[in-house]
Amino acid sequence: DAGVTQSPTHLIKTRGQQVTLRCSPKSGHDTVSWYQQALGQGPQFIFQYYEEEERQRGNFPDRFSGHQFPNYSSELNVNALLLGDSALYLCASSLVGGLYNSPLHFGNGTRLTVT
């Protein structure tokens, strides 16, 4: 039973560029959330996708956008990269709704470095 998989594992980009990160949820899960984790900090919620729509968004600018596909996989896109976007980007999947009592299952993340 495959867990959450993310690609790529590491990425180096230059300021102003655009990046796309990918996530496949755990088998049987239909909800995908994205989190940003700066060094030494806890994860911060970017947004959640369910039924191919963004259901809730955290305090992140419009440069951060996403997509969910019919097979429940998801992408996170970041435009006009800033140095401050350097972080570990974590994808988490959960069961129907992802509401209330659904534990999150995390991938190992994509380490993004912006130079």
Partner 1 sequence: SQQGEEDPQALSIQEGENATMNCSYKTSINNLQWYRQNSGRGLVHLILIRSNEREKHSGRLRVTLDTSKKSSSLLITASRAADTASYFCATVGQGGTYKYIFGTGTRLKVLA
Output the CA torsion 69→51→94→92 (10° steps): 40
The CA distance from 84 to 92, in Å, is: 22
**Which lies closer to partner 1 via its Cβ, residue 80 or residue 96?**
96
Torsion of CA 71, 47, 63, 85, to 10 degrees: -110
To the nearest whole angstrom, how small is the minimum distance from the Cβ of residue 113 to partner 1? 13
* Minimum distance of partner 1 from residue 5's CB (angstroms): 10
**DSSP-derived secondary structure letter, 1:** -
Task: Write down the least CB distance from residue 37 to partner 1, Å.
Answer: 8
Q: Which is nearer to partner 1, 67 or 88 (CB)?
A: 88
Residues that bind partner 1 (CB under 8 A): 4, 31, 33, 35, 40-45, 48, 50, 55-56, 58-59, 88, 90, 92, 97-101, 103-109, 111
Judged by DSSP in three states, 96 sits in helix
